[in-house]
Amino acid sequence: MELSQDLSFIELIRHASWVVKLVLLLLLWASFMSWWAIFDKLFALRKERREAELFEREFWSGGFQEIVKRVSSVHRGCAMEEVFRAGYRELAKLKRQPGVAPNSMVESVRRAMRATYQREMDTLEAKLPFLATVGSVSPYIGLFGTVWGIMNAFRGLSNVAQTTLAQVAPGIAEALIATAIGLFAAIPAVIAYNNFTHELDRLANRFDVFMEEFSNLLQREAYKS
């Protein structure tokens, strides 16, 4: 359906009430910020997944000494390397203390890794609450703008003796733009949030498996010595 010039999006927005314009500005800002968060999180998680795979491959293929050299420096690595760094530093500290039982040593290392794991996951989960908020709130903000615009359209017709569709259409079309923009902001945010949550769950499971395997390795080595 081809819109006339008076019913073009620009004209409808230009003649909208200040409340509807404010709603549209808010939704456009939310959409821009959510797309920025989506791309930022997409690249961050892709990088984290790739580096975790490389770290695991290096660790279990015998590159332990090389990893130890890296974690002894101040250079920050990927999240999994930071988890290992916390465990290794705790292990090195306990080895300097005489009389530490093997079980206590393994548990202390596990707690150190778990604390770092929680901090790393908090960092990786940044911006997800914002995407969830945009996805859940934007349709209601758009609906508010639509209701307000329709209400104003009908108020403008209160003194008109005979109402036609041509008189009602611009006001309703103007109001429905707010709902459309609300959905435009919400749908990508919801899809991205669900995908990122799934990706973070996979990373969390990978970290859990690594921590358990490393703890079991430490326990076997502790009882050998």
The contacts of residue 166 (CB under 8 Å, 6+ apart) are: none
pLDDT in tens, 179-219: 889 999 999 999 999 999 999 999 999 999 988 888 888 77
Q: What are the distances in angstroms from CA 60 to CA 29, 202, 221?
A: 46, 19, 15
Burial class (CB within 10 angstroms; exposed 0-12, middle 13-18, buried 19+) of 161: exposed
Q: What is the pTM of this model?
A: 0.80
Strands (DSSP E) found in 67-215:
none
Spatial separation of the C-alpha atoms in residues 146 and 105, rounded to whole Å: 62
The per-residue pLDDT for 185 is: 92
Q: In a 10 Å sphere around its CB, with 0-12 CB exposed, 13-18 middle and 19+ buried, how is residue 20 labelled?
A: buried
* The most confident of 44-53, 144-153, 210-219, by mean pLDDT: 44-53
Between 170 and 152, name the one with better pLDDT.
152
- Specify the residue for token string 């103007």: 174
- Tens digit of pLDDT for each residue in 49-95? 998 888 888 888 876 677 777 766 667 778 888 888 888 888 888 87
